[in-house]
């Protein structure tokens, strides 16, 4: 039997970039004859049946197997994977710098800070570190990982191929201009800048326009409230927060969009940009982080956040038919280059190289690691089913900012220099 190649990550989402990549990797591996499961701590209910609980990972473990560890933030699943004898390949999806969440989401400030710090612990553990973009690979290289490589994001647009559900979108199917953004309503996406640019466009160029913001704000209620306060304070009309939508609804909104506007300041790749390419929507995006590489010379990049400047660019794209067509043609060419990349061959080549190469010695793990895992599981069960008892025995640690349910695994990393 060939070795198994499993994947492990904190959570499998529905309709997000990491989720699409994880499922794509599994399809390739199974198509090549490998046993391949997806081990997670949690999953969206719509894809939960595709996953296995990470606590079952030790039973599937074998020294000849490979674990593809998707690192986007530190997690208990990550630390269990670290301690197992399987060979490990890390796929880095980037961690948003914690400063973007200051004053908005204190827990995420802590998680992102610790996640970036924890990443360094995997240097001696992984046999290959892959970024899903060159931007992410360079971060791995700067963090001391070797060897590194790029496992390209080759988006699967099958989720946009079905018939659109326009039950909600038809309300915006009129003669007005629809400016669109797709992504989570979180601070690094700079939704406030998207709104400011739209406000300038609506005020100075086209009053018959609206902004469609597609994406969840769950967990970021404070930031969402700040955005609402800004809209009320400036008196901005026709801004629509549409929330997380089903794939068929997303397709309908793309069909209505006249332009896709992105102001994000931190992206590891940004799949919605190439989704817009695929749907024939001209893209304007701020030139930051991985965005210029993702755009690959297509669309329009802007490098200063002057609302009048960005609004004028929007107006040119929307009002000049010939310019619109040239931009869409350029996006089609960039998308063809992206889809021409051999994702399956690249992935299997990386796996073959690891299997054929010398095994890297496993770094030491705290002697009581598995006892701590059992304790963490027990504390988590108390937290879920007897919250009053949990809070009685697990006061928040002022240093870690979390209850004792996370303390044993954190402590092993701090005390031993390992996960």
Segment 282-303 shows an average pLDDT of 97
Same domain? 263 vs 211: yes
Same domain? 140 vs 180: no
With respect to residue 17, please indicate whether it lies within any of the assigned structural domains: yes
Same domain? 38 vs 137: yes
The larger pLDDT score, comparing residue 219 to residue 413, is at 219
Domain ends where: 331, 363, 395? 363
Statement: residue 22 has pLDDT above 60? yes
The larger pLDDT score, comparing residue 357 to residue 366, is at 357
pLDDT in tens, 148-157: 999 988 778 9
pLDDT bracket for residue 406 (50, 70, 90): very low
pLDDT, residue 350, reads 98
pLDDT, residue 332, reads 98
pLDDT, residue 114, reads 85
pLDDT in tens, 178-200: 999 999 999 999 999 999 999 99
Q: How many CB atoms lie within 10 A of CB 138?
A: 14
Cα–Cα distances in angstroms (integers) from residue 367 to residues 44, 57, 83, 206, 415, in the given order: 34, 19, 11, 66, 11
pLDDT, residue 236, reads 97
With respect to residue 148, please indicate whether it lies within any of the assigned structural domains: yes
pLDDT, residue 368, reads 86
For tokens 């969206």, the residue is 44
Domain ends where: 304, 339, 374? 339
Cα–Cα distances in angstroms (integers) from residue 315 to residues 86, 203, 259, in the given order: 55, 12, 10
pLDDT in tens, 221-232: 999 999 999 999
With respect to residue 410, please indicate whether it lies within any of the assigned structural domains: no
pLDDT bracket for residue 279 (50, 70, 90): very high
Same domain? 334 vs 347: no
pLDDT, residue 30, reads 97
pLDDT bracket for residue 309 (50, 70, 90): very high
Same domain? 221 vs 77: no
The larger pLDDT score, comparing residue 409 to residue 135, is at 135
Statement: residue 402 has pLDDT above 60? no
Statement: residue 363 has pLDDT above 60? yes
- Boundaries of domain holding 222: 161-339
With respect to residue 375, please indicate whether it lies within any of the assigned structural domains: no
What Rg do the C-alpha atoms of the chain give, in angstroms? 23
Statement: residue 44 has pLDDT above 70? yes
CA distance 97 to 112: 7
Same domain? 170 vs 313: yes
pLDDT, residue 394, reads 58
Statement: residue 73 has pLDDT above 80? no
Statement: residue 166 has pLDDT above 60? yes
With respect to residue 371, please indicate whether it lies within any of the assigned structural domains: no
pLDDT, residue 125, reads 96
Give residues with Cβ within 8 angstroms of 383, minimum separation 6: 390, 394, 403, 405
What CATH number does residue 18 fall under? Answer: 3.40.50.2000
| Mean pLDDT, the chain, whole residue set | 90
Same domain? 209 vs 74: no
Same domain? 212 vs 137: no
The larger pLDDT score, comparing residue 90 to residue 219, is at 90
Same domain? 173 vs 292: yes
Statement: residue 401 has pLDDT above 80? no
Same domain? 223 vs 310: yes
Same domain? 239 vs 335: yes
Statement: residue 397 has pLDDT above 70? no
With respect to residue 33, please indicate whether it lies within any of the assigned structural domains: yes
Segment 139-151 shows an average pLDDT of 96
pLDDT, residue 395, reads 54
Question: What is the value of pTM for the model shown?
Answer: 0.84
* High-pLDDT (> 70) share of the chain, %: 93
With respect to residue 236, please indicate whether it lies within any of the assigned structural domains: yes
With respect to residue 369, please indicate whether it lies within any of the assigned structural domains: no
The larger pLDDT score, comparing residue 108 to residue 86, is at 86
Statement: residue 410 has pLDDT above 60? no
Check if the beta carbon of residue 123 is closer than 8 Å to that of residue 144: yes
Statement: residue 176 has pLDDT above 70? yes
Of 40-44, 69-73, 147-151, 317-321, which gets the smallest average pLDDT? 69-73
pLDDT in tens, 236-273: 999 999 999 999 999 999 999 999 999 999 999 999 99
Statement: residue 357 has pLDDT above 80? yes
Statement: residue 351 has pLDDT above 70? yes
Structural domains in the chain (count): 2
Same domain? 169 vs 144: no
């Amino acid at each position: 039997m060939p070795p198994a190649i499993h994947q492990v990550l904190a959570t499998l989402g529905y309709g997000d970039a990491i989720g699409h990549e994880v499922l794509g990797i599994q399809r390739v591996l199974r198509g090549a004859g490998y046993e391949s499961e997806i081990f997670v701590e949690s999953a969206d209910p719509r894809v939960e049946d595709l996953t296995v609980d990470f606590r079952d990972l030790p039973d599937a473990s074998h020294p000849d197997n490979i674990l593809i560890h998707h690192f986007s933030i530190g997690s208990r699943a990550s630390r269990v994977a670290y301690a197992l004898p399987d060979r490990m390949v890390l796929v880095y999806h980037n961690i948003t710098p914690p400063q973007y969440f200051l004053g908005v989401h204190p827990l995420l400030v802590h998680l992102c800070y610790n996640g970036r710090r924890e990443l360094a612990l995997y240097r001696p553990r992984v046999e290959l570190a892959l970024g899903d973009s060159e931007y992410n690979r360079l971060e791995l290289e700067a963090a001391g990982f070797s060897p590194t490589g790029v496992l390209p994001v080759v988006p699967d647009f099958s989720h946009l191929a079905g018939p659109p559900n326009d039950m909600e979108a038809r309300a915006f199917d009129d003669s007005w201009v629809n400016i669109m953004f797709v992504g989570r309503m979180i601070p690094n996406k700079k939704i406030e800048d998207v709104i400011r640019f739209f406000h300038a466009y609506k005020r100075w160029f086209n009053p018959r326009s609206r902004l469609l913001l597609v994406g969840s704000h769950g967990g970021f209620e404070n930031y969402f409230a700040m955005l609402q306060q800004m809209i009320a304070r400036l008196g901005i009309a026709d801004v629509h927060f549409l929330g997380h939508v089903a794939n068929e609804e997303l397709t309908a909104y793309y069909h209505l969009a006249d332009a896709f506007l992105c102001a994000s300041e931190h992206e590891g790749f940004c799949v919605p940009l190439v989704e817009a390419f695929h749907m024939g929507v001209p893209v304007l995006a701020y030139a930051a982080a991985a965005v210029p590489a993702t755009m690959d010379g297509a669309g329009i990049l802007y490098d200063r956040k002057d609302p009048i400047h960005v609004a004028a660019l929007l107006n040119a794209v929307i009002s000049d038919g010939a310019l619109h067509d040239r931009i869409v043609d350029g996006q089609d060419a960039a998308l063809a280059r992206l889809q021409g990349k051999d994702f399956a061959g690249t992935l299997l080549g990386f796996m073959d190289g690891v299997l054929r190469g010398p095994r890297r010695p496993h770094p030491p793990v705290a002697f009581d690691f598995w006892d701590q895992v059992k304790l963490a599981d027990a504390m988590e069960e108390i937290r879920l089913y007897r919250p009053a008892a949990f809070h009685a025995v697990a006061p928040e640690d002022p240093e870690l900012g979390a209850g004792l349910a996370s303390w044993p695994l954190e402590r092993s990393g701090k005390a031993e220099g390992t996960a």
